[in-house]
Chain A
Amino acid sequence: MAVSWRSWLANEGVKHLCLLIWLSLNVLFFWKTFLLYNQGPEYHYLHQMLGLGLCLSRASASVLNLNCSLILLPMCRTLLAYLRGSQKVPSRRTRRLLDKSRTFHITCGVTICIFSGVHVAAHLVNALNFSVNYNDEFVELNAARYRNEDPRKLLFTTVPGLTGVCMVLVLFLMITASTYAIRVSNYDIFWYTHNLFFVFYMLLMLHVSGGLLKYQTNLDTHPPGCVYLNGSRYRHIHLSEYLSEQFRESFPGGFSKPDELTRNTFVKICMEEPRFQANFPQTWLWISGPLCLYCAERLYRCIRSNKPVTIISVISHPSDVMEIRMVKENFKARPGQYIILHCPSVSALENHPFTLTMCPTETKATFGVHLKIVGDWTERFRDLLLPPSSQDSEILPFIQSRNYPKLYIDGPFGSPFEESLNYEVSLCVAGGIGVTPFASILNTLLDDWKPYKLRRLYFIWVCRDIQSFRWFADLLCVLHNKFWQENRPDYVNIQLYLSQTDGIQIIGEKYQALNSRLFIGRPRWKLLFDEIAKCNRGKSISDLRIFISRSPELLFVNLSPLPCLLHKFLLLGPPRIPLSPQLRDITNLHENSWCFLLWTQFNF
């Protein structure tokens, strides 16, 4: 039990620690700000006017400050790719944190959503209170112009009110388009509305410049709750009566001799009238840093992707897949990274990510991507690159590059699959076109496998259509032969699964090595894991990792075992999983001790 606790810590500990730190920061900011506005003397009069609404709105605002600044950081993808590749992040454990950058972004987004709701509700109550509790004594503290002014006027005629309403509408558009269902079905809507974040940030900068909430500056000369000695303009009652009245308010039980007590009390005397000043907009300090960083990164990406690539060849593969090979000056990429393609002739605004299937090496500058033709962008792209007459033939490399449209690429950006070469044993599971990140890994191994830590690769590829295997059948066969010749036959263990059981069941005459490794039906995970456990006895948990990459079609198939079964496998605790003793041995299995990743590739 102690061992599995260690393995949980090794795998999930850092991630949960970061989450805990983030949560504590949020709670700390909320609590501190709440107390400041609830009890702070400089907000005494304001608190009297507005009550709980003031404290809630300001506390939620401070949480919003923190999250609006943190949410931009995971989106600095070039910076993250740099951190992933550099030696500055030494341990694999810390690099695994970078895999969770998107999850962190979503967490901050949800927090912004919730606390915006609290902030808006509290400020609506504040607007009402500003109007109802109009303060005649300290006129400059008011946001309303007169008592009982319609609070809706306050909302729409003040700068903070109007910008606040606009921000809520922008946030509403962004959030409704960011749900999981919209992202998987209509990614365009998500992408375009999410770019409204810039409008949101500009409005936010204006929102905090309104200066509606003021604090008192001269606390020493006018402590809140003090009284005027010389008969104040504001209270026309005798001093002792006033003091006894104060005491009766604080001690409802009452004293028998109020007069005696008033002689002995310490009374705060006002020297002058209170002066109020608007708060300095702290939000500017919070968000300027990350916003500048993000803008700098976008500018860098823009400049870097300004030069178009030269397309060397376009190859048409069966099952609607097209391969593009290209070159670009000074382009370096690691296996497992992805790029974003932008073709103005197809669409001026859209760009789409595709994983590199072949990376440039020292000897060869060519790199390539495999695209599956599923949406309108990819269809139009294919029609531009391959004239319709030649699309039916199997493989037709084109040499005339002058007819190709201009293509720009942005990237490369990192992905968790880069790590598969840094573990001794990697289990790579791919579904359909999701095999592309692993193809670049295999190409790299074909080049030279010795520099990497990887000593054994289990490659599981599940496809629906037998023709899909031909995308990389050549690569797999060549790799298999190479390792056979080098007397390392167990380096790459290939298992191909054909999930559709009717139809042709061989890949091709010349791919005998693959035909004998082809299984019909879906993988049986328990048997597979048992076998891996038996063959890898003696390895510790930190040496093994699973990578899963699936195609978009598998997202809706409930029967797909790739995420569901493994997920179940992982979530069930040890007593409920009928695990073989060998498997328990090797992994010291706790429910979360398998390193589990999911990366969904969107091909359009």
Chain B
Amino acid sequence: MGQIEWAMWANEQALASGLILITGGIVATAGQFTQWYFGAYSIAAGVFICLLEYPRGKRKKGSTMERCGQKYMTKVVKLFGPFSRNYYVRAILHLGLSVPAGFLLATILGTACLAISSGIYLLAATRGEQWTPIESKPKERPQVGATIKQPPSNPPPRPPAEARKKLSEEEEVATGVSSGPQENPIPVTDEVV
């Protein structure tokens, strides 16, 4: 259990809770329940939470799967600096956002789910996890010339690759080998492979 990254799970939960809040809020405002303004609040809170949680943070070890189109939101969330990096802030924020939605029947489940995700964020924060944005590395185009590492040093006919590698090792050991008449480095046998 040592290497579980709780933040990723908390992120999924928060995103799901945001969607539940939006749904509950729509039901409450459309149905014109009493205290429907709580429904409107929960729609707004749900949208905010979804936008905040959409960009997935980078894992400490290994590569992370990005959500579709998350790089735009990553830029926005990165702007908040320590407020978005620190998971304590997120835990408290989610707990605070969840409380008003608990007053209405339609959104009460969104409250419960958001509270759970706030708890998991707190756990992640106590384990020292942080949100790091996933940045795409610029693709380096390999130049054609650079891929040819070692052009062959002797003219054709050349022995196969194994012998060539052997030959280059021998050359490293004994520098200044004369390039005399072509000698076959390994005896040529008729081998069936």
Contacts and interface: CB of A to CB of B under 8 A. Distances in A.
**A interface, over-half SS:** helix
A97 interface: no
Contacts of B106: 124
A182 B120 CA distance: 14
A177 B105 contact: no
B112 A185 contact: no
B12 A182 contact: yes
A23 interface: no
Contact of B56 (A151, A165, A181): A181
Given A121-B27, A556-B65, A506 B12 contact: no
Contact of A151 (B1, B62, B105): B105
Interface stretch (A166-174, A319-327, A334-342, A396-404): A166-174
Contacts of A186: 4-5, 8-9
B95 interface: no
Interface-central residue, A168, A172, A179, by most chain B CB under 10 Å: A172
Interface string B102-115: 00011011001100
A65 to B, nearest CB: 22
A288 interface: no
Interface in A113-135: 117, 120-121, 124, 127-128
A175 interface: yes
Given A184-B65, A515-B162, A189 B9 contact: yes
Contacts of B63: 556
A175 B16 contact: yes
Contacts of A516: 193
A189 B191 contact: no
A62 B62 CA distance: 43
B29 interface: no
Contact of A185 (B13, B62, B108, B116): B62
A513 interface: yes
A182 B9 CA distance: 7
Interface string A487-523: 0000000000000011011100100110110000000
Interface in A144-202: 151-152, 155, 165, 168-169, 172-173, 175-177, 179-182, 184-186, 188-189
B98 to A, nearest CB: 13
Contacts of B23: 117, 121
A370 B77 CA distance: 43
A124 B33 CA distance: 12
A502 B112 contact: no
B32 interface: no
A253 interface: no
B165 A506 contact: yes
Contact of B165 (A169, A347, A504, A513): A504
User: For chain A, which range describes its interface: under 10, 10 to 19, 20 to 34, or 35 or more residues?
Assistant: 35 or more
A375 interface: yes
A189 B4 contact: yes
B105 A152 contact: yes
Contacts of A512: 191, 193
A506 B161 contact: yes
Contacts of B141: none
Nearest to B108: A152
Contacts of B3: 375-376
Interface-central residue, A152, A185, A376, A506, by most chain B CB under 10 Å: A185
Contacts of B5: 185-186
B109 A120 contact: yes
A124 B112 contact: no
A169 B1 contact: no
Interface string A377-398: 0000000000000000000000
Contact of A182 (B8, B62, B193): B8
A531 B148 CA distance: 30
Interface in B4-29: 4-6, 8-9, 12-13, 16, 23, 27
B149 interface: yes
A414 to B, nearest CB: 29
A177 to B, nearest CB: 6
B71 interface: no
Interface string A330-356: 000000000000000001011000000
Interface in B129-180: 147, 149, 161-162, 165
Nearest to A177: B9
B2 interface: yes
Contact of B105 (A128, A185, A375): A128
B105 A173 contact: no
Contacts of A184: 65
Contacts of B13: 172-173, 176
Contact of B112 (A128, A169, A188, A376): A169
B13 to A, nearest CB: 5
B188 to A, nearest CB: 14
Interface in B58-99: 59, 62-65
Contacts of B64: 185
B30 to A, nearest CB: 12
Contacts of B4: 186, 188-189
A496 B6 CA distance: 39
Nearest to B66: A181
A182 B12 CA distance: 9
Contacts of B113: 169, 172
A502 to B, nearest CB: 7
A169 B116 contact: yes
Contacts of B6: 189
A493 B8 CA distance: 44
A536 B131 CA distance: 54
Contacts of B56: 181
Given A169-B113, A505-B161, A512-B193, A181 B12 contact: yes
10 contacts: A173-B13, A176-B13, A176-B16, A180-B65, A181-B56, A184-B65, A185-B62, A189-B4, A506-B161, A556-B62
Interface of B: 1-6, 8-9, 12-13, 16, 23, 27, 33, 56, 59, 62-65, 105-106, 108-109, 112-113, 116, 147, 149, 161-162, 165, 191, 193
Shortest Cβ-Cβ A-B pairs, 5 listed: A556-B63, A176-B12, A176-B13, A181-B65, A516-B193
